[in-house]
């Protein structure tokens, strides 16, 4: 009888287990103890972790704007998976490892450009929803001040030229480095024109988004009739890659690589960089998390990590998420939504986010017993749960 009651309670609790988009780390409880009222922008000082910015943005953005940032494909199962999959890799903290030099290893070199940390701002459209006046200019300033990479989106609220004009001449590594994301267009002269503008703006690399062969199914955003930003796409093919390559001297990074086969093809083609991503789960439901893609590559073709530069994003919210991707061989990791949400604070928002993440990354890596972020021993990860599901190519 007693057992029955208990097991009933357990099943109720399990059934009610909410899907956790904004984990409860006490933000709302804390705010109730202040004079905060719902619908206000919380004080920036009360942002203690990356997910806090989503709560803050949800208070002040319109439903339509929030839906556009937050939306993902279809039932958003891949979106949830992006956030939850990290649990499949437990960390194995090794103690009594001297980590006092860790801070000096946080810098990273991406395509020859040095930055202060192995994470960056992913390209996302319509930053004006967060800050109508300054939009992406906040990302330019924050990434310059904190010396990290910014990847500007082709469909940004500001033009390529406005973003370029905002770049800082003096960062600790010289003039600010920005990469330019682009979608290809069925009318190729539009694509060639974007490439010309990116070159004129002194972008240091082109990021071609290859996971957008069509519009995508996004129920949450469709309710507000919010069009996809993907534009009109041509056939996305390796032939188009060759044509692009023939038109520009800039390195090209392929954004949206989701399988080891495509990673190997990119290596065969001599592609300078690949970006493991499911576009924040906005393109197709049940697409894999970059954690799984990185593991698939590590298990089938680990040489990929040596032969091309591997970036990743989708679902990264904590320092330990970054540690896991770096440990698998990824060079640097992006965040999309968190930066967009942080923009409701103007330049202070993304700046605080970067500072929070730098601290988390250092704390988490130190706690795990990592002395050098460039040489993370594989023994710090327990990947058994990924091994269960990993795709293995035929030998
Ligand atoms: C509002 C929004 C707009 C985006 N627009 C683009 C885009 O124009 N081009 C692109 O390659 N990726 C775009 N992305 C995807 C991001 O570059 C990135 O892959 C994704 O946000 C990472 O997942 P995360 O939001 O969980 O960090 C967008 C993402 C969001 C949230
Ligand atoms: C709340 O507001 C009142 C009145 O303005 C003020 O006296 C009090 O110090 C505030 N409390 C906090 C925690 O800020
Ligand atoms: C890491 O080093 C930088 C510069 O050397 C310093 O500003 C920062 O406070 C250090 N961070 C930690 C957590 O020690
Ligand atoms: C970039 O960093 C590397 C490794 O720390 C260093 O050897 C190199 O001199 C740096 N390059 C520039 C341009 O600062
Ligand atoms: C293709 O785009 C160019 C602008 O870059 C435009 O002038 C031209 O009319 C377009 N062609 C078609 C068929 O739409």
User: Mapped to the 3 state alphabet, what secondary structure does 140-180 carry?
Assistant: HHHHHHCCCCEEECCCCCCCHHHHHHHCCCCECCECCCEEE
Residues 373-391: what's their mean pLDDT?
97
**Atom 1 of ligand 5, residue of closest alpha carbon:** 187
**CA atoms of 133 and 48, how far apart (whole Å):** 26
DSSP per position, 39-50: TSPPPGGG--ST
Residues 162-170: what's their mean pLDDT?
98
335-358 burial string, b = 16+ CB within 10 Å, else e? bbbbbbbbbbbbbebbbbbbebbb
User: Given a cut of 60, is residue 232 above it in pLDDT?
Assistant: no
When pLDDT is cut at 50, 70 and 90, the band that residue 248 belongs to is very high
Report pLDDT for 394.
Answer: 79
Mutational test site, ligand 4, from 103, 114, 373, max ligand atoms within 8 Å of CB: 114
Which ligand has the nearest atom to the CA of 43? Answer: 2
pLDDT in tens, 311-354: 999 999 999 999 999 999 999 999 999 999 999 999 999 999 99
Residue 279 alpha carbon to ligand 1 centre in Å = 5
Asked if residues 381 and 91 have their Cβ atoms less than 8 Å apart, the reply is yes
When pLDDT is cut at 50, 70 and 90, the band that residue 274 belongs to is very high
Residue 191 alpha carbon to ligand 5 centre in Å = 10
Phi-psi map region of 12: left, alpha, beta (phi>0 left; psi -120 to 50 alpha): alpha
Helices (H), 286-382: 290-300, 304-307, 319-328, 337-342, 348-368
Report pLDDT for 225.
Answer: 79
Residues 223-242: what's their mean pLDDT?
81
Residues 179-183: what's their mean pLDDT?
97
**CA atoms of 306 and 287, how far apart (whole Å):** 25
pLDDT in tens, 140-149: 999 999 999 9
Counting atoms of ligand 3 from 1, which one is nearest the CA of 362? 13
Asked if residues 149 and 332 have their Cβ atoms less than 8 Å apart, the reply is yes
Residue 358 alpha carbon to ligand 3 centre in Å = 9
Cβ-based neighbour number of residue 174 at 10 Å: 11
Residues 278-286: what's their mean pLDDT?
98
**What proportion of the chain, given as a percentage, has pLDDT over 70?**
93
Whether ligand 1 lies within 6 angstroms of the CB of 120 is answered as no
Counting atoms of ligand 1 from 1, which one is nearest the CA of 82? 26
Q: For the chain, where are the E strands, in sequence order?
A: 90-91, 108-110, 113-115, 119-121, 150-152, 178-182, 206-209, 252-257, 273-276, 309-313, 332-335, 381-382
The per-residue pLDDT of the chain, averaged, comes to: 94
Whether ligand 2 lies within 6 angstroms of the CB of 35 is answered as yes
3-state secondary structure of 264: helix
Residue 190 alpha carbon to ligand 5 centre in Å = 7
Q: Going by C-beta distance under 8 Å and a sequence separation of 6 or more, which residues neighbour residue 45?
A: none
Which ligand has the nearest atom to the CA of 36? Answer: 2
Among the ranges given (20-34, 78-92, 120-134, 249-263), the one the predictor scored with the smallest mean pLDDT: 20-34
**CA atoms of 136 and 143, how far apart (whole Å):** 11
Residues 213-219: what's their mean pLDDT?
92
Residue 231 alpha carbon to ligand 5 centre in Å = 14
Counting atoms of ligand 2 from 1, which one is nearest the CA of 35? 1
Pocket of ligand 5 (CB under 6 A): 187, 189-190, 193
Whether ligand 2 lies within 6 angstroms of the CB of 34 is answered as yes
Counting atoms of ligand 1 from 1, which one is nearest the CA of 277? 19
Mutational test site, ligand 3, from 101, 103, 356, max ligand atoms within 8 Å of CB: 103
User: Given a cut of 60, is residue 77 above it in pLDDT?
Assistant: yes
Report pLDDT for 7.
Answer: 53
Mutational test site, ligand 5, from 154, 190, 191, 193, max ligand atoms within 8 Å of CB: 190
Whether ligand 4 lies within 6 angstroms of the CB of 109 is answered as yes
When pLDDT is cut at 50, 70 and 90, the band that residue 1 belongs to is very low
| Beta-bridge mates of residue 91 | 381
Counting atoms of ligand 2 from 1, which one is nearest the CA of 33? 13
Report pLDDT for 200.
Answer: 98
pLDDT in tens, 84-123: 999 999 999 999 999 999 999 999 999 999 999 999 999 9
User: Given a cut of 50, is residue 373 above it in pLDDT?
Assistant: yes
Report pLDDT for 228.
Answer: 67
Report pLDDT for 233.
Answer: 64
Task: Label residue 5 exposed, middle or buried (CB < 10 Å: 0-12, 13-18, 19+).
Answer: exposed
User: Phi, psi (5° rounding) for residue 192?
Assistant: -65, -35
**Atom 6 of ligand 1, residue of closest alpha carbon:** 124
Report pLDDT for 205.
Answer: 98
């Amino acid at each position: 009888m007693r057992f029955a009651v208990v097991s009933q309670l357990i099943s109720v609790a399990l059934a009610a287990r909410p899907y956790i988009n904004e984990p409860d780390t006490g933000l709302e409880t804390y705010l109730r103890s202040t004079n905060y009222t719902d619908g206000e922008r919380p004080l920036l000082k009360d942002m203690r972790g990356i997910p806090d910015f989503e709560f803050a943005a949800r208070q002040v953005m319109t439903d339509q704007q929030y839906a556009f940032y937050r939306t993902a494909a279809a039932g958003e199962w891949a979106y949830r998976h992006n956030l939850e999959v990290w649990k499949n890799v437990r960390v194995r903290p090794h103690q009594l490892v001297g980590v006092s030099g860790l801070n000096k290893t946080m810098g990273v070199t991406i395509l020859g450009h040095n930055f202060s940390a192995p994470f960056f701002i992913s390209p996302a459209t319509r930053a004006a929803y967060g800050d109508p006046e300054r939009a992406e200019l906040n990302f330019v300033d924050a990434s310059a001040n904190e010396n990290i990479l910014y990847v500007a989106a082709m469909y940004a609220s500001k033009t390529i030229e406005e973003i370029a004009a905002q770049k800082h001449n003096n960062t600790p590594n010289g003039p600010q480095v920005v990469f330019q994301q682009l979608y290809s267009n069925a009318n190729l002269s539009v694509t060639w024109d974007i490439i010309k503008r990116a070159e004129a703006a002194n972008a240091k690399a082109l990021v071609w988004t290859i996971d957008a062969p069509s519009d995508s199914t996004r129920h949450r955003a469709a309710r507000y009739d919010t069009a996809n930003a993907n534009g009109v796409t041509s056939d996305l093919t390796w032939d188009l890659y060759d044509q692009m390559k023939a038109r520009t001297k800039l390195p090209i990074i392929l954004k949206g690589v989701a399988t080891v086969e495509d990673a190997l093809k990119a290596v065969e083609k001599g592609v300078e960089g690949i970006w493991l991503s499911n576009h924040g789960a906005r393109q197709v439901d049940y697409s894999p998390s970059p954690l799984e893609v990185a593991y698939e590559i590590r298990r089938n073709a680990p040489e990929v990590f040596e032969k091309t530069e591997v970036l990743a994003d989708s679902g990264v919210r904590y320092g330990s998420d970054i540690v896991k991707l770096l440990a698998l061989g990824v060079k640097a990791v992006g965040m999309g939504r968190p930066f967009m949400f942080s923009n409701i604070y103007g330049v202070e928002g993304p700046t605080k986010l970067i500072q929070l993440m730098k601290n988390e990354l250092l704390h988490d890596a130190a706690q795990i017993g990592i002395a050098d972020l460039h040489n993370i021993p594989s023994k710090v990860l327990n990947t058994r749960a990924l091994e269960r599901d990993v795709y293995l190519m035929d030998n």
